[in-house]
């Protein structure tokens, strides 16, 4: 099956190579022995990994080329720091590093500016959290982090919230092979219930039963917010006539909806 050509940063993604695990291992051994050409092969052989990661950030409004370049920086850092002795798949090690690099880029380029002092508290809090997690084998509380930093816990909470990445309502959070579940599917909205949707359909059908003048009067009164006097002046009838036509139209619609 042929792949469609998609270029990102001048790279034809349909022609990107895929390296097998044994080849990857051989290249890492060569790299650790000083063979820089092996590093280049490892980068080119894992660009598909970068592509798969940046798909998670498609709804952020960022240019794909920019995300790809930032993801490649994360990939190169992963290649330079990968330890063969840990017996971990390279993709398992690299994906979090690529994601981390992209998230740092998004934070630094967030249109909602966060002060330097607040960012510093947040990054220190993250470091302390990781250190305490390693020590205790469980995630520490905000109070414990604030104690280590000697910073009020309210400031820690505020700082961590400030650097959180915005989440798109259309970001998938679950996929079982069928239709994905999006963030917006998990948010309650009293203004978007099935009952209201049905009522809106009934209202639209009721409007269709009115003649053109009745539709125009209701539109001017309830969509444009005009008074009966203003409506009367525009269509050339008296205010009393507008009032009678308006009431008659509303009564007719009510009968249609209830029937």
Same domain, yes or no: 20 and 68: yes
pLDDT in tens, 185-244: 555 555 544 445 556 666 777 778 888 888 888 888 887 888 888 888 888 888 888 888
What is the C-alpha separation between 253 and 259, in angstroms, rounded? Answer: 10
The answer to whether residue 229 is domain-embedded is: yes
Q: Kindly state whether residue 53 falls inside one of the protein's structural domains.
A: yes
Note whether 30 and 63 are same-domain residues. yes
Q: Is residue 89 part of a domain?
A: yes
> Among 62, 86, 108, where does a domain finish?
108
pLDDT at position 162 over 80: no
Torsion angles phi and psi, residue 13, rounded to 5? -65, -20
pLDDT of residue 180: 56
Residue 174 lies in a domain: no
Say if residue 69 is in the same domain as residue 16: yes
For position 134, which CATH number holds?
1.10.10.10
- Same-domain check for residues 11 and 103: yes
Q: CATH code at 60? A: 1.20.120.1810
pTM: 0.43
Mean pLDDT, rounded, of the chain: 77
Q: Are 118 and 162 in contact (CB under 8 A)?
A: yes
Query: What integer pLDDT is reported at residue 4 of this predicted model?
Result: 41
pLDDT at 6: 46
Q: Are residues 45 and 81 in the same domain?
A: yes
Tally of structural domains, the chain: 3
Residue 184 lies in a domain: no
Check whether residue 246 and residue 153 sit in a common domain. Answer: no
Question: What would the pLDDT profile of 28-84 be if each residue is shown by its tens digit?
Answer: 889 888 888 989 999 888 888 888 888 877 766 677 888 888 989 999 999 998 888
Per the structure block, which two tokens stand in for 213? 């003048």
Does residue 17 belong to any structural domain of this protein?
yes
Q: What is the pLDDT of residue 76?
A: 92
190 secondary structure, DSSP code: T
Give the closest residue to 110 by CA, choosing from 159, 65, 162.
Answer: 162
Determine contact, residues 172/181, Cβ cutoff 8 Å: yes
Q: Is 229 left (phi over 0), alpha (psi -120 to 50) or beta?
A: alpha
Calculated CA dihedral for residues 15, 19, 23, 26, nearest 10 degrees? 90
Clarify whether residues 23 and 79 are in a common domain: yes
In a shared domain, residues 35 and 103: yes
Q: Is 236 found in the same domain as 212?
A: yes
Domain containing 251: what range? 194-258
Residue 72 in any domain: the answer is yes
Q: Among 29-33, 118-122, 168-172, 247-251, which is the least confidently predicted range? A: 168-172
> Which single residue is written with the structure tokens 């001048």?
10
Q: 28 and 101 share a domain?
A: yes
Task: Find out whether 152 and 160 touch, Cβ atoms under 8 Å.
Answer: no
Q: How far is CA 33 from CA 27, 37, 43, 61, 162, in A?
A: 10, 11, 17, 41, 43
User: Does residue 145 form part of some domain?
Assistant: yes
Asked if 29 and 89 sit in the same domain, the reply is: yes
Asked if 122 and 102 sit in the same domain, the reply is no
């Amino acid at each position: 099956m042929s792949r469609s050509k998609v270029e990102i940063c001048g790279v034809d993604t349909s022609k990107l190579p895929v390296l097998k695990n044994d080849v990857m291992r051989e290249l890492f051994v060569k790299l650790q022995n000083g063979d820089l050409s092996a590093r280049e092969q490892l980068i080119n052989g894992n660009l598909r990994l970068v592509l798969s990661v940046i798909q998670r950030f498609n709804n952020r409004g960022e240019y794909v080329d920019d995300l790809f370049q930032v993801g490649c920086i994360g990939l190169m850092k992963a290649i330079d720091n990968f330890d063969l002795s840990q017996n971990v798949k390279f993709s398992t090690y690299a994906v979090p590093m690529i994601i981390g690099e992209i998230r740092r880029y998004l934070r630094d380029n967030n249109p909602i500016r966060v002060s330097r002092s607040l960012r510093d508290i947040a990054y220190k809090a993250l470091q302390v959290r990781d250190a305490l997690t390693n020590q205790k084998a469980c995630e520490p509380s905000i109070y414990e982090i604030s104690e280590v930093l000697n910073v009020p816990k309210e400031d820690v909470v505020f700082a961590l919230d400030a650097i959180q990445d915005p989440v798109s309502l259309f970001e998938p959070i679950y996929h079982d092979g069928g239709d994905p579940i999006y963030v917006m599917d998990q948010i309650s909205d009293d203004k978007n219930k099935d009952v209201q949707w049905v009522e809106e359909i009934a209202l639209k059908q009721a409007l269709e039963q009115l003649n053109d003048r009745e539709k125009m009067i209701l539109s001017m009164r309830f969509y444009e917010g005009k008074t009966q006097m203003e409506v009367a002046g525009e269509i050339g009838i008296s205010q009393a006539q507008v009032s009678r036509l308006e009431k008659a139209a509303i009564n007719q619609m009510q009968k249609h909806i209830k029937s």
